Structure 1
Amino acid sequence: MKKLIHLALIILISVSFSCQNNTENSEVSEVVTEVKNDIERVEPPNWWIGFKNNQFQLLVKHPNISEATPSINYAGVSIEKVHKADSPNYLFLDVNISESAKAGPFNIHFKFNEEKELVQTYEIKARQKEATDFKGFDSSDAVFLITPDRFANGDTSNDIDENLNEKTINRQDDYGRHGGDIKGIIQHLDYIQEMGFTQIWSCPLLINDMPQSSYHGYAMTDFYRVDPRFGTLEDYQELSTKAKEKGIGLIMDQVANHCGSEHWWMKDLPFKDWVNQQASFVNKQPLNNSNHRRTANQDLYAANRDKKEMAEGWFVSAMPDLNQRNPFMANYIIQNSIWWIETLNLSGIRQDTYPYPDKTFMSNWAGAIMNEYPNFSIVGEEWSYNPLLIAYWQDGHKNKDGYQSNLKSTMDFAMQRHIVEALNDAEQWDTGLVKIYEGLANDFAYTSPKDIMIFPDNHDMSRIFTQLKGDIPNTKMALSYLLTLPRIPQLYYGTEILMNDFAKPGDHGLIRTDFPGGWEGDTVNAFTGEGLTDNQKDMQNYLKKVLNYRKTSAAIHDGKTIHFAPFMGTYFLFRVVEGETVVHIINKNNEPITIDLKRYEEVGLNGKTLKNIITDETFVWQDSIQLKERGSLILTTKAN
């Protein structure tokens, strides 16, 4: 039925074009009256008019397609160059779209000889909105990270696909598929909005047709296909549309470094250098995995061998390492990202394993996207606890080697660790808090601290409640502190209900536990609160209040940051903007303590009334404040 509808639309479009008063296309171009799909694979599946870069490259895959001569007869669209690959089953076509070109379908003819010709209908579309209207995420946002297989099962009919390698579903298997999908996210957008989140980052939703552990999404086997166990492309587009209706942007998790070993091209690689260590792979020889020495990207003294092993080693044995130095691979990845931005109306991209691909390519990749979408956002995963390495990747940083990343945001693993270590240090209160204080002091190294992403945990590390040893006051301190920092905060699904991996800390399958209430028959439902413990409900409500206050806080979004060295087991952080001051206090004392507020008089709060954003109680800032129990306190000068 979908194919018939698509055919009808194409015919309608072509008839419309032929009947226009301006008959340029009908006189010069071949009129498309029937959709042709003779070619095995053409990627990208479509393109658009109106980009700054008016050229794109088509990957064409078909048996012995290199013997054919391709041609296009459509006004304003032309083949500039034809590239043959090492495999006879590929062609790469450089296609130019002139400013005079109009949106519509056209045929690409592949002529083999007088008797044989194959035809593929292709379409260039009109863009739905201006490039500048693709608004990215920033420090005013709060990001909700979801592992879709483990969040909610909204459509049980797609749980198993008999055409794919992994055909089972088993919620008792931490590394098996559990059935969560796109519909499940759509059905709970109200919950996400009411909690106070303004962006959704979903782990990859593209197909992972792998024999096992395919649920996580990071071993993609087709970069243009949604995994049918998650839903359809239309479902993905619906998620984006309905999220935006609720003021929530959509961030796509992408992977430029590797694919899954079952990717369709691994059975017939177009070039001899399409993936790294390709000769060893083809000849079934041992492959080297990455040495994971990410500092080789910056190290002035790094040996070439270490650089090569880091960049060309496979991330893991089931994930072939893509060679971005191959110009056709480079074009493929860049175009794939742009295709998804346009198709899904994205607000951002989270790029996995950022330091592992060729770093020159990553600069070109980010640069190409930001050139087309100047208000867009990209965050790169740099799992490093060294602020110097985090700073290196942020756009505008003055690197000694002259490298410019074009990357707006990096991930703050360093500050995440400082927060955990500081709060777990129970022996000496000020010594522990100094780790947070000095960690934030490292912001001098960053070009733009507020564009860095901070988080308590994610899909690859123990839950924050586990890291903080099940201590609820410490968990509240960690979460409230990072939500008031000059950063973009990201929280992982289930953090709000104290999800944990106590049984096996660090185990990825357990970290990505099912969200209770996402499956029919669940006895606990975190979406409604049914069956949650008092502590879980309290944490959920606590985060809901902080997140919703944060939504409208100019001080937290853009305010000046002032913090004072830890004193008597307390640490004071201030965010200040005209008309609003937010005070965040961490108190590690188990017994009541009184703090002299004259220490903080430079902030100018004396005599002002502040409100506790959790309890709504008011407090007049004068000589002292009594802190009655260990925990955090968030005060604001805003009345409402």
Structure 2
Amino acid sequence: MRAYLISFLFISFFSLNCFSKDLKIEKVEPMFWWVDMKNPSLQLLIHGDNISEYDVSVNYAGVRIDDIIKTDMPNYLFVNLMIKQGTKAGHFDINFSLDGKTKASYQYELKERRENSAKRIGFNESDVMYLLMPDRFANGNPNNDSVEKLTDKFDRENPDGRHGGDIQGMINHLDYLKELGVTAIWSTPLMEDNQPTVSYHTYAITDYYHIDARYGNNDDYARLSAEAKKRGIKIVMDVVTNHCGSAHWWMNDLPTKDWVHTFPEYTNSNHRKSTTNDPYVSKTDYDKNFNGWFDTSMPDLNQKNDFLVTYFAQNTIWWIEYADLGGIRIDTYPYNDKHGMAVICKSIMDEYPNMNIVGESWLETPAEIAYWQKGSLNHDGFNSELPSVMDFSLFFAMPKAFNEKEGWSEGLIRLYNSLALDYLYADPYNLLIFAENHDTDHIMSTFEGDIDKYKQLMTFLATTRGIPQLYVGTEILLEGKKSDGDGVMRIDFPGGWEGDERNAFTAEGRTEKENEAFDFLKNLLNWRKENPVIHTGKLMHYIPEHNTYVYFRSNEDKTVMVVINKNEKEQDLKLNRFEESMKQFSSGTDVLSGKTYDFSNGSISLAPNTSVILELK
């Protein structure tokens, strides 16, 4: 009897202890929000042990709970708040109670928005975008090269290791980018990637609300944006919605059972994005593209889950508002569920009507790429709500156009043929155009160091329709081939680290050839910046003949004639064929050389392997 009584008292004491133990709130995302957003609804993801057993309440003027949703996972609640227009910024408690007794509180903050935040202008045709990988650009703060809580440590000798580039390194070289003529910076993801190896690219995100500590912190990112804005440069954030990292905190305890796509055994994506529109596609092939994992370390997220869709819409809006961003780039766009992504894009654009979002659309033909741009006339009536896409069709054409000898479908005709299919796009001027990026060979490896081809390509990239995107090192002729390995190809920018043999951020640290390339591009881009005719002017081009491509950009104020000459010898260009575009003009001055060309003789002489940009008069 005594033993029974002792046992009973022990169990009762233990039960009372557990019952009285305070609830620990592990996560509330987003951590804070803003008043007077156009969409008054806010979904909070709340994580804590058995939190679904608790009641939730708030008491703050203008804020009410619209719904509390329990999922099939006991450690999560989704709480939908309604924040009335005119609600004052401030703090309030979210209370969690059991049997009428408060067991925990979370202090939530509503902030004031920046002035004219909703009217912010995203990147557009007037911009030149510069893509960089922060880990490989510049190390501004060696103290954060390795971080105790993050697994992958500094190892600059390892091509696939962390090299120490960071946000401070980017800030330190904003003046360099301004001098070059850059007006927007797209950085590969900066959010935390706590994978044990090869985390430098940061595409396996493990926390969507925190900057990776090896780059800095959230405040550093906001400071980067503010410093860039002072120099007329917009910051474009790389967002990854298709997959997260396998080390993401929620992978140990998913918010819902269908938060990620699972199979009886590991299933990789077949990477067959053509299944999107294939009229004969099998369900198994279709599902494998969209639901298979991008990589063993990258779980595939389910954009058919409404909670996840809202999570990413809010997360992107949170970063735009927090860091005063000038645009969004969405990774691996055609791997996502298209309907879920349309909801995300529309939510962002409804909040910021002048924002721009570009989706990575690694597809070969304009018909496939155009499907993903908002407003395209698609066979199934689908509207992506995605304003811009990456023009991979033109990307594939460019290296060949300048490397090949002329033929019926070779050489410069490739550029013409690609642009001739622009009728498929809802807005061909709002396409991101590029010759290289972090997943491709450096263009100068393709050109084997030929600076004439470089100048011709840069001339085309800066003057045709679309938004030019450069890749870090383009301006100094950096080389690197993907076949050597991603880490080898993604080389460190020379001079970004203390003790580097040379500093290519300065003229003194560049070779004569590198300075020639830098100065050429600098003059070209800064001229482009000041000439709206190149941003939105009408494009008219003429079929390339005799290794020469001629096209015009024109608006009410100006007409510009661009001539790209690939001939090995001096070329006499007859002008009568272009009368439709230049009949009222008698001369043109080359913005690159300053030379004036007289049209009175009916022809102009072009130096071999060169290009001219003529402002017509």
TM-score range, shorter chain: over 0.9
Question: Contact between 1:430 and 1:570, CA under 8 Å: does it hold in 2?
Answer: no
* 176, 180, 185: which one aligns with 1:191: 176
Question: Contact between 1:274 and 1:329, CA under 8 Å: does it hold in 2?
Answer: yes
**Map 1:438-477 → 2, pairs under 5 A:** 438-477=417-456
Could you say what secondary structure the match of 2:66 adopts? Answer: strand
Counterpart in the other structure of 2:37: 51
Matched length:
595
Counterpart in the other structure of 1:237: 222
**Map 1:70-469 → 2, pairs under 5 A:** 70-113=56-99, 117-167=103-153, 169-277=154-262, 280=263, 286-426=265-405, 428=407, 431-469=410-448
Q: Deviations over 1:435-456 (max 9, x none)?
A: 1111111112111110011001
* Deviation (angstroms), 1:587: 1.1
Could you say what secondary structure the match of 1:184 adopts? Answer: helix
Q: Deviations over 1:304-339 (max 9, x none)?
A: 111111110001111000111111111111111111
Are positions 1:510 and 2:495 aligned together? Answer: no
Moved more, 123-132 or 233-242: 123-132
| CA distance in 2 between partners of 1:512 and 1:354 (Å) | 22
Question: Contact between 1:206 and 1:225, CA under 8 Å: does it hold in 2?
Answer: yes
Counterpart in the other structure of 2:15: none
Could you say what secondary structure the match of 2:333 adopts? Answer: coil
Could you say what secondary structure the match of 1:379 adopts? Answer: strand
Q: Report the AA paired with residue 393 of structure 1.
A: W
Q: Report the AA paired with residue 181 of structure 1.
A: D
Q: Report the AA paired with residue 213 of structure 2.
A: P
Moved more, 553-562 or 618-627: 618-627
Question: Contact between 2:23 and 2:49, CA under 8 Å: does it hold in 1?
Answer: no
Q: Report the AA paired with residue 183 of structure 1.
A: Q
Counterpart in the other structure of 1:616: 594
* Structure 1, unpaired ranges of 5+: 1-35
Counterpart in the other structure of 2:7: none
| CA distance in 1 between partners of 2:281 and 2:484 (Å) | 31
What's the TM-score, normalizing by structure 1? Answer: 0.90
| CA distance in 2 between partners of 1:428 and 1:119 (Å) | 72
| CA distance in 2 between partners of 1:115 and 1:412 (Å) | 58
* Deviation (angstroms), 1:588: 1.4
* Deviation (angstroms), 1:428: 4.3
Q: Report the AA paired with residue 580 of structure 1.
A: K
Counterpart in the other structure of 2:500: 522
Counterpart in the other structure of 1:570: 548
Question: Contact between 1:560 and 1:576, CA under 8 Å: does it hold in 2?
Answer: yes
Could you say what secondary structure the match of 1:530 adopts? Answer: helix
| CA distance in 2 between partners of 1:135 and 1:369 (Å) | 13
Q: Deviations over 1:50-87 (max 9, x none)?
A: 12221111111111211211110111111111111222
Moved more, 573-582 or 112-121: 112-121
Query: CA distance change for structure 1 residues 494 and 605 in 2, over 3 Å: closer, same or farther?
Result: farther
* Deviation (angstroms), 1:177: 0.6
Could you say what secondary structure the match of 2:421 adopts? Answer: helix
| CA distance in 1 between partners of 2:569 and 2:596 (Å) | 22
Are positions 1:493 and 2:472 aligned together? Answer: yes
Counterpart in the other structure of 1:27: none
Q: Report the AA paired with residue 507 of structure 2.
A: G
What's the TM-score, normalizing by structure 2? Answer: 0.94
| CA distance in 1 between partners of 2:62 and 2:417 (Å) | 59
Q: Deviations over 1:509-557 (max 9, x none)?
A: 1221111111111122111123322111111111101100000112111
Could you say what secondary structure the match of 1:432 adopts? Answer: coil
Q: Deviations over 1:339-392 (max 9, x none)?
A: 111101111100000011110001111111111111110000000111001111
Are positions 1:542 and 2:520 aligned together? Answer: yes
Counterpart in the other structure of 2:16: none
* Deviation (angstroms), 1:100: 4.5
* Deviation (angstroms), 1:225: 0.7
Q: Deviations over 1:112-133 (max 9, x none)?
A: 3466611110011121133542
* Structure 2, unpaired ranges of 5+: 1-21
Are positions 1:479 and 2:458 aligned together? Answer: yes
* Deviation (angstroms), 1:627: 1.4
Could you say what secondary structure the match of 1:210 adopts? Answer: coil
Could you say what secondary structure the match of 1:251 adopts? Answer: strand
Query: CA distance change for structure 1 residues 590 and 635 in 2, over 3 Å: closer, same or farther?
Result: same
Counterpart in the other structure of 1:627: 606
Could you say what secondary structure the match of 1:247 adopts? Answer: coil
**Map 1:5-20 → 2, pairs under 5 A:** none
Could you say what secondary structure the match of 2:265 adopts? Answer: coil
Are positions 1:584 and 2:562 aligned together? Answer: yes
| CA distance in 2 between partners of 1:249 and 1:431 (Å) | 37
Question: Contact between 1:37 and 1:120, CA under 8 Å: does it hold in 2?
Answer: no
Counterpart in the other structure of 1:25: none
Q: Deviations over 1:145-165 (max 9, x none)?
A: 110001111111111102111
Question: Contact between 2:328 and 2:358, CA under 8 Å: does it hold in 1?
Answer: yes
| CA distance in 2 between partners of 1:563 and 1:331 (Å) | 44
Query: CA distance change for structure 1 residues 588 and 428 in 2, over 3 Å: closer, same or farther?
Result: farther
| CA distance in 2 between partners of 1:429 and 1:269 (Å) | 56
* Deviation (angstroms), 1:621: 2.4
Q: Report the AA paired with residue 365 of structure 1.
A: I
